[in-house]
Structure 1
Amino acid sequence: MTKAPSARVESDRLSETTREESFGTVRANNRGALDLLADAAQLRTLLDRLTPDAFAEQTGFKDWTTDDILRHLLRGNEAARLSLTDPQALETMMRGARDLSAAERRAQEQAFANHAAGAALVDAWFTNLTRTVDLFLAVDLARRVPWAGVTMSARSLLSARLMEQWAHSQAIYDLVGLERREADGIEAVAILGVNAFSFTFRNHGLPVPERVPQVRLTAPSGAEWLFHADNQDDVVTGSAVSFCRVVAQVRNIADTDLAVSGAVAHEWMAIAQCFAGPPQLPPAPGVRRAAPALRTDLLSELEGLSAA
């Protein structure tokens, strides 16, 4: 299990009451949009305290910088916004994207962000994010919307946006040596992870086991989340944060508190992937972890950070 970082981000942006007032009446079951905004607001609290040089320092995720991550999230959020408002514009935006190399895709994202970096990029990302959240707050989440050549529910699209933001931003927290203040909104990520069981095996060209393992997780609030309780042969238990980190491939399972029993559960956790695209393997043990101490050299101020 990884050593807990030495500090935590305390968001100073948008209390729950303020968010409700800012966006008016929230449709039933659309609180996932507020979870997305709360996670982004907490991230911005950290980003606003980074030094200019920190944005260009490589993180533990494929050597991406914080700027690279924000550009990727910005373009993804804009694609989600277009999915809800202008499917034709989305098709134009995404045309040919799948054929790009990783370097070409990063260059495309840099151009989309008008080569913004640092504080200017933070503003662009957060402004676009709040516009996207506003749309999700108003939409019928059962509505089918286009995405990557198929259709999905707006609810699934919202969950995917939260998952991607939560997963990619982990590299920024790790870089600085901070612990994110986790919330039960990550249940959407856990559900994606459980629902991606069959996809994970098919994506690797493997036969899909007949039964999904039981998954029993402890939420950040202390609540218990239980999936597939009838399967007693294959079981995954532990913190919801650890499970979400494993299925989003921001941690190797060896670096978490998850307990796994049963051959199928072990095989799944070794390759679990809750995001679309070709099969990816998790980081090797010990590769993705937080800096052992707070990187004060990357922070312009410590206000808003507290001891864990």
Structure 2
Amino acid sequence: MCADLRAEGEELDLLVADLPAPGWAKATPAPGWSVAHQIAHLTWTDRAALLALTDADGFAEMVAEALAAPDRFVDDGAAEGAALAPGELLTRWRAGRTALDQALAEASPDVRHPWYGPPMKAASMASARLMETWAHGQDVADALGVRRAPTDRLRHVARIGVRARDYAFAVRGLPVPTEEFRVELTAPDGGATWTYGPPDAPQRVTGPALDFCLLVTQRAHRADLGVRARGADAERWLDIAQAFAGPAGPGREPGGGPA
């Protein structure tokens, strides 16, 4: 898991390592966020994860700051980092990734650490960091006009998306489906199928793993993706799916634009 997280960060690093200053200012599909905002947000959340693993009191202070400005703290954190010179921001992001990687490797696998949602074990935290790194990396790639080749690391993103099904309903105040879904996703290499849920479940979701991951991270509208559902609850899920904690996101409009 740690190796996959490192690889995801390194792949995104390659996109911005030699990016001239005007490139850092390019707008991404997230309204009001530039490439610099995306990297600054990852820097901020990596620091939060590091504190959760190593300094519970320090993390509690971050939570208190978030509770004091629940509608602004994410944007404020991104804006603060985006105001730095690109070289300084890149240095901070790299240093934070290195420190977090070491903390994850040294963490006990059985201990749950505090987070903004339920406490998480180190493996789950690493998986969540990979999901967010990949999703914000997609925003950067879209801004720069780069098409990234999908990898088997998407398995981590897909798993979170499947496990977050009930949360997606609950956060919108909708009844949570009472039965499990069958999810069948074609791996990026086209040679394997990633499956979740009972094989005989009547509610089903199928499609390419990449498309499913774009859907649950709300980086693309379902109309632009090859993910299909069978069953009323499964159809509704594809309209609201989200792999991230927090309020329901606005998602994207068809055609790739922001909502």
- CA distance in 1 between counterparts of 2:82 and 2:196 reads 44
Q: Against the structure 1 CA distance between its residues 182 and 263, is the aligned structure 2 distance closer, same or farther, given a 3 Å change threshold?
A: same
What's the offset of the Cα at 1:280?
2.1
Tell me the equivalent position of 1:126: 94
- CA distance in 2 between counterparts of 1:114 and 1:88 reads 26
**Contact 2:229–2:235 (Cα < 8 Å) also in 1:** yes
- CA distance in 1 between counterparts of 2:151 and 2:110 reads 24
- CA distance in 1 between counterparts of 2:228 and 2:6 reads 31
Tell me the equivalent position of 1:12: none
Tell me the equivalent position of 1:9: none
- CA distance in 2 between counterparts of 1:66 and 1:136 reads 26
- CA distance in 2 between counterparts of 1:279 and 1:178 reads 27
Following superposition of structure 1 onto structure 2, how do residues 255-294 of structure 1 map, counting pairs within 5 Å?
A: 255-288=224-257
The alignment covers a number of residue pairs equal to: 257
Tell me the equivalent position of 1:176: 144
Following superposition of structure 1 onto structure 2, how do residues 29-48 of structure 1 map, counting pairs within 5 Å?
A: 32-48=1-17
Tell me the equivalent position of 2:108: 140
Residue type of the partner of 2:136? Answer: H
- CA distance in 1 between counterparts of 2:45 and 2:147 reads 25
Tell me the equivalent position of 2:63: 94
Structure 1: 5+ residue stretches without partners: 1-31, 290-308
- Confirm or deny that 1:211 pairs with 2:188: no
Aligned pair partner of 1:226 in 182, 189, 195: 195
Tell me the equivalent position of 1:238: 207
Aligned pair partner of 1:79 in 48, 59, 65: 48
Residue type of the partner of 1:138? Answer: E
Q: CA RMSD in A?
A: 2.0
Q: Tell me, what secondary structure is at the counterpart of 1:137?
A: helix
TM-score by length of 1: 0.78
**Contact 1:218–1:224 (Cα < 8 Å) also in 2:** yes
Q: Against the structure 1 CA distance between its residues 191 and 88, is the aligned structure 2 distance closer, same or farther, given a 3 Å change threshold?
A: same
- Confirm or deny that 1:200 pairs with 2:168: yes
Work out which of the two has the higher radius of gyration on C-alpha atoms and give 1 or 2. 1
**Contact 1:59–1:66 (Cα < 8 Å) also in 2:** yes
Moved more, 184-193 or 230-239: 230-239
Please give the per-residue CA displacement for 1:205-224, whole angstroms capped at 9, x wherever unaligned: 11111113211011223321
Please give the per-residue CA displacement for 1:56-113, whole angstroms capped at 9, x wherever unaligned: 12111123101111111101001101111111111112213134265554334444x4
Please give the per-residue CA displacement for 1:139-179, whole angstroms capped at 9, x wherever unaligned: 23332101126422222211111111111111110111112
Moved more, 114-123 or 223-232: 114-123
Q: Tell me, what secondary structure is at the counterpart of 2:7?
A: helix
Moved more, 171-180 or 223-232: 223-232
Structure 2: 5+ residue stretches without partners: none
TM-score by length of 2: 0.92
What's the offset of the Cα at 1:251?
0.8
Moved more, 191-200 or 255-264: 255-264
- CA distance in 2 between counterparts of 1:206 and 1:231 reads 25
Give the percent of matched residue pairs that are identical in Structure 1 and Structure 2.
Answer: 33
Residue type of the partner of 2:231? Answer: G
Tell me the equivalent position of 1:167: 135
Q: Tell me, what secondary structure is at the counterpart of 2:206?
A: strand
**Contact 1:250–1:288 (Cα < 8 Å) also in 2:** no
The structure whose RCO (Cα within 8 Å, separation 6+) is larger is 1
Tell me the equivalent position of 1:22: none
- CA distance in 2 between counterparts of 1:265 and 1:114 reads 39
What's the offset of the Cα at 1:136?
1.3
- CA distance in 2 between counterparts of 1:103 and 1:89 reads 20
Q: Tell me, what secondary structure is at the counterpart of 1:237?
A: strand
